[in-house]
Structures are given as C-alpha cells and as structure tokens.
Amino acid sequence: MHILPRLDLARPSRRHWLGYLLLAPAVILIAFLIVYPLFISLEISFQNVGIVRLDLPHKPFTLSNYTRLFASPDFWNAAWVTLKLVVIVTAACFVIGLGTALLVNQRFRGRSVARVLIALPWAVPEVIAVVIFSWMFDSSFGLVNWLAIQFHLSSGMIAWLSSPAGAFFVICVVMIWKGYPFVSIMALAGLQAIPDDYYNAARVDGASAWQRLLNITLPSLMPVLGVSLVLSMLWVFRDFSIIYTMTGGGPLHATQTLSLMTYEQAFSFFKMGYASAIGIVTLIICIIASRLMMGRAPDNL
Amino acid sequence: MKLRKLALAGMTALALAGVAATSAFADTTLKFVSWQKDEPGYRDWWASVISAFEKQHPGVKIEWTKVERGAYSDTMTTLFAGGTPPDIVHLASFEYQKFADNGWLEDLGPYIEKSKLNLQGWAGQETCNWKGQTDCIMMLYTGFVFGYNEDLLNKAGAKVPTNYQEFLDAARKTTRDVNGDGIPDQFGTGHETKGGGGQYLTEMMNYTLDAGAQFTDQNGKVTIDTPQMVEGLTRWKTIVKDGLTPRDLTSADTRQLFADGRIAMKLDGPQLYPIVQKGKARDQIKFGKDPFTPPMGGSSNVLAIAAEIPDDHKQLVWDFIQIATSDPFQSSFAAMTTSPAPDPRADIAEARKKVADFDTIVEAARSASAAHVDRLPKGLEIQFNEFATMMMNEAKRMIINDLDPKDVAKTMQAKAEAIQNQ
C-alpha cells in the first residue's frame, strides 16, 4: 500500500526508475520470446539429440555437433553461399536503390508513378514474387528462355533452376528485385532531408553534378545508408522463404544458405542438436558482422 | 401461465437429462490435423467420416484443421514435441516411423484385437508395423497407372508402349517443337524434378524398379551398387538429360500439362484421373497398364492415436478409426476419391460406375502390392528424408555433370550405408 508513494518517481534522482518500470514489460517479453529459446538452442547444441522434448532428461554434454559441423563440407559450402549472396545482393541493392532514389528525386512528369513503381516490389509478398520469377525462369516454358532464343542470345533452353550457376543467379535476381526498394525508399527519405542551400552554394562555386554527388549527397546520406546497409545485410543473411520456395537450397546445395541448412537438419532430418549448433554459429557470425558494420560508422548510426 | 412455465421447465429438464444420458463426453473436442482438408474427393470423404462419428457420439466434436503438406512434418513434430499432439494422428506413411520411434503413437494391437478389426489383406498394412508393434492403420496404398494421349502417339507414329524400350521410343517421337519457335513445347513424358527428395525418388523409381533394382534387400542391407541399379539410373538420366520430360516443374504442373495435351505419356498415381477429366485433352487420353514391371506404387498415409492423450480420448479416436475402416466407408472411399480402398472387402461397384478406368487403378495397386513395392526402403525408414535427399542430389549431380551411372551407384551405396550406420 505504501510502497508506491515512498518510491516518489517524480523526484529527479529517481526519474530513471520510471523508465525502467515502463521498459520492464517489453524487456520481460523479449527475454521470454528470444532469450529463453536462444538459451535452449545453445543447450541443445551441446547434446546429441534428434527430436527434442523439453520434459525429457538431458542427454550428456558433447561437442560432437560442433566438431562434426566444422568438419562438414556442407557447412562450409553453406557459409560460402551465404557470404556470396550477402555481398552480391547487398551491393546490387545499394547501387540500384541509390540510383533509383536519385532518379525519382528529380522533378519530371510522372514522378509520382515512378516512385510507386520503384517501391512496388517491396510490397509484393516474397512467395508471390518467387512464383512469378519461377515461371519467368522456367527451364521449359519460361519467358526468359523464350526471349533469349528470340534475340539469339542462346541456341537452346537454359536450365536455370537445374544448374548450380543458373539457380544461384536466379536467386540473386529475385533477392535484388525484392530488396532494392528498401534502400531506394530510405535513400529517397534521406535525399529529401538535404537542404537545397547546399546544392545552390555548390553551384555558385561551380561544382559539377558529379562533385555535388560526391561531396554533398553521399556524405549527407551516410547515416541513412549505414542503417540500410546493416538491415539489408541481415535480411539477406537470414532470408529463408525466397530460397526455400524457389530452389529448396539446390541443385547440389548451390543455393543452400546457413538458414536453409539449419531448417533442413532440424525439420527434414530431425537432427535438432546438430541444427542448433548451425543456428548458434550463424547467430555468432551475424553478431560479428553487425558489430563490424556498426563499429565502422559509430557517429553515423 | 404457470402451466406453460412448468411445461417448459419440465421439457428443459428432460432434454438436459437426455443429453446427459446419451453422452458421457459432452463438450469433448478431438483435434484432427490433416493436409487433405482441401483435396477434392478426400476432403468430402473425411467430412463424411467426421459427420458419422459426431452423430454416433453426441457432444463430441472434431476440430478439423488443415496444415499444408509442405509444412506438415514440421508442424506435427512441433505439436508432438510441445506435448500438444492432435488426438487423431494423420501422417504420411514415410514419416510416421519417426513418431513411432519416439514412443508418441499408441500401440493399436490391443484395440484391433478387442474390436476384432479384420486387417487380413489390407493393402500396405505391413508398413504400419514398427518394432513389433502396430502403430497405425494404412489409409491408402496405390499403384501407378499409365496415362497416354492416343492422339499424340498416333500423330508421331508411335505405338502404345509395353516396355521401357518402346516407352523411350515413343517419348523421343512425341517430344517436339510444335510451333517451330526453336523451343520444345510438347514432351514425351513428364516427371516432377523440382520438389523434395521423396517425390524425386518416386519419379526415378519408375525406371529403377523396371530394371530390377532395389535400394535395400529384405534384411535392410543397402543394395544400390548393382548392375540393375546402374541400368535404372542410366534410364533416368536418358529421360531427363535428353529433354524427354520438362524440367523444374512440380507434380501439379506436369499433371496439368498432361491433361492439356502437352505431354504424351504419364506414369502417376490415381490422383491423375480427376485432373485429366478437367483437362483440354481428356477425350484423347486413355489409361492402361503400366509398361514398367512392377508398377511404381506404395503406401500413402496412415491414421494413428497419439500416446499422450487421455484414455477416454484414445477410445474415441479408435471409434473414429473404426468408422473410417468400416466396409461401408471403405466403399465410399473408393467412390469419392477414385482411389483403391485398402480394405479388400470394399464394394467398388459405385467407383466403377463413376470412373471408367477404375479396374485399371485397382489392378495397378494390386500388382504393386503383390511385388511389395514401396518407396520407403526397408532399413532406412527412420532416415528416409536424408536418404531421399542424398539420392536426389547424387542423381542430379549425375545429370548436371554428366557422370557415369556406374560411379554414381557406387557413391550412392557408400553414402546410403553412412546414413544407415550413423
């Protein structure tokens, strides 16, 4: 009864208590939804278990999942595929996203329509995008093959999804198509926040368009681009639905990322201990990558 | 007024007493999860079983939920692992072993004995025996039928094949670029090559079985590195690499292409029949005996009881299974799903009236069953997904890298043994 009045949260020295109190429900919820499963995954990763039941006695502690993982060519292949995807897709999303943002930031007729069209892929659900692209790149009846033959770019049908290189290329195309609008929207928002005075002053000083881009636009956009870069990278890193629906990680593991490998081991092969080990290693890689990105531009983020 | 109130109260009391007397299970709900809730034919049959059950058990409701086949195994595993399994357990016959092996399924032996359920000659029922215990009842065992487009075969000058060589010849003749745009748009046959390992293995087995190959022997020993398997792999490689089947399509896509006259010959389960009936080429398509011996076939799906549910729920689920496996409902199963009922006593007269080729469908199931054909190899049941994925990857590697089937069979043998012994 008397506890709350005694706390006197209005006192300046105790004002931060109110902050903690207000944050507490969210923190507890996050701890329950994220930290607890994470802890369980970590625990399972050190046990040789198939299907997990929390009410069953613990299996003996073992490092076998990790030793097997680091000795597995499939794991290193998945790590390599993930790295390639992250670099290629993020870089392409950045170039296209920034380019389209600069384009639709100009004044021209139909600018509103162009802005909507650029943002459109972002609004399309991933699975629908995959279905559309699957038909376009279909090896037997696809539009892309038809165009390639009509324009004499290929003498025969290209087995896009049946060849490792073709499947990887198609996955990159879909992910770039799906991912660049995010960068574009973020960059456009950043561009509109740059005062016109900067550009006017630069013009008076005789700066060319290229110099204005390098010395005004890009530095001003850095905070926005930094956040976009980290978020895009994490999206590519953990994306599951596009690859799973389109290729299932194949052919010959050419598109199998760490996320897909985790899923396959857990829910196709029911090796929960091994899958947890992959998940934990993936998480560590993600944390290190994010930390490196954040650490490189602390003032901008 | 008083009289009316009294009468109303009396009627209410009687009604309540009646409900209490007729149902000891008032407000009981049985959970039933299935992927067949939206499948034409199967959906209607399951609905009829549920309706009959609920009529027999006033106060008991069945909560029927659909889970997509693609996410089914994950969902069921999560439900069981979380301690909240469905009461009525519906599983694919190639995945139930994982659940049985974890002790999650009730031993049906005592129930079968007590209710005197006659499983003599029940197609595919031996698959439900796991480690000396009956864990499920087989709900469907099918054999592949052979559908062919008579018009396309005639135009190409090919006869209806009766063996692999004739099949290959007909497939080559009917694979064509019809509109002359440089792209083949008509195919000799159609196989799914896009899906998971299980389906890929099924498609490939049409050829390996006909070549006399088996993945394991009766003792569960891996028998892949054999001349028969090399021949089977060579056939599969020829069909896919020579473009006699469209690539990267799902089962649904290939069935639709066949139904629309873009594929000349199709080896498939009885589910092909209703799709053909709605296709553009339905008048040209005929069904006949599979040119391959034995025909591909196998167990499909099973019903079981979750071991963790209360005893009164277990009895109710068994009542449900008894209705589903009764002769009248097995007869209606054949008629409504156009699939052969596993019950040998099912009356298929109605199904025959509905489906002109029903005898062909039944005969295919019998031939496959007599040859003990199943895509689930003995001794690799628990590791089936891993085995099937490995086989698919090695077969794809053979096609993509143009490898010698002899070497591929050796690799498959070694990898299958490693999977079995882990």
pLDDT band at B361 (very low <50, low <70, confident <90, very high): confident
Rounded Cα distance between B413 and B407, Å, is 10
User: Among partner residues B77, B102, B249, which is closest to A267 by beta-carbon distance?
Assistant: B77
Residues B155 and B219 in one domain: yes
Q: Could you give the number of structural domains in chain B?
A: 2
CA angle A167/A171/A175 to nearest 5° reads: 175
Strand partners, B263: B187
Evaluate whether B249 touches B190 at the Cβ level (below 8 Å).
yes
Residues B334 and B401 in one domain: no
Q: Does A112 touch chain B (CB under 8 A)?
A: no
- DSSP H or E segment with residue B212: none
Q: Residue B294, preceding bond cis, omega within 30 degrees?
A: yes
Residues B213 and B242 in one domain: yes
| Cross-chain Cβ contact A267/B247 below 8 Å | no
Test the B interface: residue of A240, A247, A268 with most B CBs within 10 Å: A268
Rounded Cα distance between B133 and B105, Å, is 10
Place of tokens 């857990």: A266
In a domain, B13, yes or no: no
The pLDDT profile of chain A, 301 residues, written as one tens digit per residue, is 455 556 677 777 777 888 888 899 999 998 888 888 899 999 999 998 888 777 777 888 999 999 999 999 999 999 999 999 999 999 999 999 999 999 999 888 888 899 999 989 988 998 899 999 998 998 888 899 889 888 888 888 888 888 999 999 999 999 999 999 999 999 999 999 999 899 999 999 988 989 999 999 999 999 899 889 888 998 998 889 999 989 989 899 999 999 999 999 998 888 999 999 999 999 999 888 888 877 655 454 4
- DSSP H or E segment with residue B271: none
Residues B290 and B311 in one domain: no
Residues B87 and B178 in one domain: no
Q: Does A240 touch chain B (CB under 8 A)?
A: no
Which chain B residues are within 8 Å of A159, Cβ to Cβ?
Answer: 247-248
Instruction: Give residue B120's domain range.
Output: 27-138+299-354
| ipTM > 0.85 for the complex | no
Give the domain CATH number at B285. Answer: 3.40.190.10
Q: How far is CA B380 from CA B69, B223, B384, in A?
A: 22, 12, 6
State the maximum Cα–Cα separation within chain A, in Å, rounded to a whole number: 85
Q: How far is CA A186 from CA A31, A103, A179, in A?
A: 30, 14, 12
pLDDT for position A300: 46
In a domain, B11, yes or no: no
Which chain A residues are within 8 Å of B98, Cβ to Cβ?
Answer: 51, 270
pLDDT for position B24: 54
Rounded Cα distance between A247 and A253, Å, is 9
Residues B60 and B197 in one domain: no
| Cross-chain Cβ contact A51/B249 below 8 Å | no
Test the A interface: residue of B187, B247, B263, B392 with most A CBs within 10 Å: B247
pLDDT for position B12: 44
**Residue B2 pLDDT more than 70?**
no
Q: Does A276 touch chain B (CB under 8 A)?
A: no
Give the distance from residue A138's alpha carbon to the nearest chain B alpha carbon, in angstroms.
7
pLDDT band at B19 (very low <50, low <70, confident <90, very high): very low
Give the distance from residue B242's alpha carbon to the nearest chain A alpha carbon, in angstroms.
12
Test the A interface: residue of B101, B192, B200, B248 with most A CBs within 10 Å: B248
Residues B328 and B207 in one domain: no
In a domain, B17, yes or no: no
Which chain B residues are within 8 Å of A153, Cβ to Cβ?
Answer: none
Which chain A residues are within 8 Å of B194, Cβ to Cβ?
Answer: 161
Q: Does A264 touch chain B (CB under 8 A)?
A: yes
Evaluate whether B28 touches B316 at the Cβ level (below 8 Å).
yes
pLDDT for position A174: 95
Residues B246 and B205 in one domain: yes
Which chain A residues are within 8 Å of B384, Cβ to Cβ?
Answer: none
Residue ranges of alpha helices (H) inside chain A are 3-7, 15-30, 36-45, 64-71, 73-104, 111-123, 126-136, 143-150, 164-192, 196-204, 209-212, 218-238, 241-246, 258-263, 272-296
Residues B157 and B292 in one domain: yes
In a domain, B2, yes or no: no
Q: CATH second-level architecture of A73-296?
A: Orthogonal Bundle (1.10)
- DSSP H or E segment with residue B29: strand B28-34
Which chain A residues are within 8 Å of B185, Cβ to Cβ?
Answer: 141
Residues B259 and B286 in one domain: yes
Q: Does A239 touch chain B (CB under 8 A)?
A: no
CA-wise closest residue to B58 among B105, B11, B13, B15: B15
Residues B250 and B181 in one domain: yes
pLDDT for position B404: 97
pLDDT for position B7: 40
Tokens standing for residue B272: 């092909």
Exposed, middle or buried, A62 (CB in 10 Å: 0-12/13-18/19+)? middle
The predicted-structure confidence for B255-313, as pLDDT tens digits, reads as follows: 999 999 999 999 998 888 888 988 999 999 999 888 998 889 888 899 999 999 999 99
Which chain B residues are within 8 Å of A162, Cβ to Cβ?
Answer: 193, 247-248, 396, 399-400
Q: Where are the domains of chain A?
A: 73-296
| Cross-chain Cβ contact B249/A138 below 8 Å | yes
Rounded Cα distance between B347 and B341, Å, is 9
Residues B387 and B414 in one domain: yes
The predicted-structure confidence for A191-218, as pLDDT tens digits, reads as follows: 999 998 999 999 999 889 899 999 999 9
pLDDT for position B82: 84
